[in-house]
Every structure is written in structure tokens, then in C-alpha cells.
Amino acid sequence: MTAFPIPSQKQNRRTALAPLAAALFCLATQVVAAQDKVYQSERATFRLNTIAGGLENPWGMAFLPGGDILVTERPGRLRVIRGGKLQRRWVGGVPKVVARGQGGLLGVVAHPGFAKNRLIYLSYAAKGRDGVGTHVARALFHDNKLTDLRVIFAARPQNSGSVHFGSRMVFGLDGMLYITSGERGEPDNAQKLNTHTGKVIRLTADGIVPLVNPFTRRAGVRPEIFTYGHRNPQGIARHPTTGKIWAVEHGPKGGDEINILTPGTNYGWPVITYGRSYIGLSIGEGTHKPGMAQPIKYWVPSIAPSGMAFYTGAKFPGWKGSLFVGALALQHLNRLTLDGDKVVGEERLLRKWGMRIRDVRDGPDGYLYILTDEDPGALVRLEPAP
């Protein structure tokens, strides 16, 4: 009888990890190879430069005065990119998150006066009294750690689900903080004014409800609400000229929307939508209803939009004034041409790259930056190519 050697535990681990290592190598090779390729847009020619790889499902980024870039990783880590290099040490003092499903450490934004006050804001999924919900915390960032962390917003109600946290943030010209809050898989709550879910929230930088909010004088209504009738808005941006707040949200099967937010407005979900249920059934009452706003742009089929930015830099003159939206489902960078508040053109970039684009940012250096929602994911800069 022939005796066969029994593999050691170390050999078994190596065998089990081999497919994972191969997959990670393929993803890394795909990102690096893209750097050597020249991409042609209708109004620009560009290359991709990977600033930082090896990130685990990066979700949001923020540029700080002095050149540092903060990046969130959904499992619960805040990372710093300094001088074009990812710092090995994680930022300390990050709040505990629930990294399940679509939840985890999500949005990050710096206070407009960060150079003086060192304040940053994080949005994330966390446990509360009644389950899991969208939270926003403010903290001081100094010496690679967060101190004086304080939760300034916790969405109600909370539940045991793991979807639709929203969690993008932007400061308006009014100095207020705008926060997107998904409906947490409970669509009817988006129409209820006694809930925070399915809404865009407006607070002061200190987390106080502004008296000018549209519902502060109505009994039984959450005073933090700025707009309602949203499904899962994962992109928000301030128009560089008008100062208007724009938001993009996921539809169900089709029906992704871009909306320009005005105080107290109902954007319709789930009463009106251009999408259908995931099994193909109709939703709500159609696509229009009096008292409910129409989107300025919608997609059918869905592109799964996440992250948006207006391009204002000088590196790509032909893109100036364009609105960029990351696409997860169709894996591309969506460029929209605008005429005032109207979308008059659309171009889909990086369609053959094969990456889920989670966030898009207009960099202070004039370049455009994107995050790929992969493991490993990367921070990538779009640069002009001759």
C-alpha cells in the first residue's frame, strides 16, 4: 500500500489562499496596466495614475489644506495619503462601525475652516438603541488621530438591515452641513416626516438644527429634514457657481436620479419613480404626481451612481463645468454636460476598465480623482495625456 504524505496546516493554508492571491494579483495588474493606456474623451485625452493601491473597499475621500488626502475604508479604517504615498499607520480614534452589507465607515468631509480648527466629519453605520443606522460624528484630526469625537447626528428609526445608509456629506455656501440618509430598505419611511430615513438632513457645523430649516415649526416632524422622498442618495455636491446642492441617488431596477435640492421638497420615492422592482413589477403610482419633484436626469437601466463632483480645474479645459458621477453597476465614469440646471449631454468613460467607481472628487490641484470600490481598491488620478 502506497503511503501518501499528509499536507501540513501551513500547506493547506497556502493552497486555500492561492486563488485569493491570484485574484488580488489580477486586480492590481489591471489597475497598474491602465496607467500605460491613453483614454480618449470627447473633450480630453487622459491617463490614469494610481496614487494609492491596496485599499480595502474605499468609500469616501477628502482633501486637506497642505495636500493630505483622507480616505475611508468600509471595514472601519481611516487612511492618510501624504506626498502621494499611503501611510501605513491607520488614523486612531475612529468610531466603531457596523461593517455589514452596505454599512461601515463611509463618508468623510473636512470643515471649510479646517486649516484653523482641524475638524473633520465622518458618516458611518453604527449600532444605536434600536438597531443600526446612519451616524455622523465630528472630531479633531491631529497627529494621525481623532480626538474630541462627538456624534452630532443619528438617524431614526434604526433597524437590523444592512442597506441604504446614504452617508454622503457636503458643506453649503451657507456654512451648513448637508447629509444624505437612505431609507434603510423601508421605502414608506421616505415619505414620513417623523423619520430621518430617505431624507437629506441639514445641520449647522456644530450639529444644531438651523431655525431656517423648512420643518422646524411643524409639530411631529423631524426638524433636521431639508428634503424628503429619497431612496438611497450616495452622491452630493455643491454647484461651484450657483451654490445649489445637487444629489444623486440609486433607484431600484432603473430609475437612478439626479436632483437639485430645494428646501422642503418631496422627490417622490416610493410614490413616483422611473424604476421597477427587482422582479420587474411596477412601483407606486407612476412617474409623475402633483407636489412631487421631477429629477433633472434619470437612468434606465440603472448605472448604480455613487459619488459626484463638478469639475472646476484647469488641467482639462474641455471638462470644465461638467458633472462627474461614479457608476458601480455599469462600471464607468459618467460625464454630464450641463446648460444651467439642465443636462444636455452624457459621456461614459472608462467602460472597458472594469472597475466599480465609488467616489469622484475635483482635486484642489486641478486633477480629477476617483476611488474604485474593490478589494484591493485604489485612489486614481486622471491626468492629461499628450
Q: What is the dihedral of CA 167, 165, 374, 313, to 10 degrees?
A: -30
Residue from 164, 230, 250, 332 carrying the catalytic annotation? 164
- The rounded distance, in Å, linking the Cα atoms of 156 and 145 is 29
Task: Kindly give, in sequence order, each residue whose CB lies less than 8 Å from that of residue 339, ignoring residues fewer than 6 positions away.
Answer: none
Q: In the chain, count H helices and then E strands.
A: 2, 25
Contact partners, residue 373, CB within 8 Å, separation at least 6: 57, 58, 59, 306, 328, 356, 357, 358
- Burial code of 121-142, b = ≥16 C-beta within 10 A, e = fewer? bbbbbbebeeebbbbbbbbbbe
Q: 232, 226 in Cβ contact below 8 A? A: no
DSSP 63-75: E-TTS-EEEEETT
**Cβ–Cβ under 8 Å, residues 254 and 300:** yes
How many residues are recorded in the chain?
Answer: 386
Residue 17 belongs to what H/E stretch? helix 9-35
H or E element in which residue 15 lies: helix 9-35
Q: If you ran DSSP here, which 8-state letter would residue 191 be given?
A: G
- Cα distance from N-terminal residue to C-terminal residue, the chain: 69
Q: Does the annotation count 230 as an active-site position?
A: no
Q: Other CB atoms closer than 10 Å to residue 184's CB: what's the count?
A: 31
Give the helix/strand (H/E) hosting 30: helix 9-35
**Cβ neighbours for 358, distance < 8 A, ≥ 6 positions apart:** 57, 58, 59, 306, 307, 326, 328, 371, 372, 373, 377
Hey, which residues are catalytic here? 164
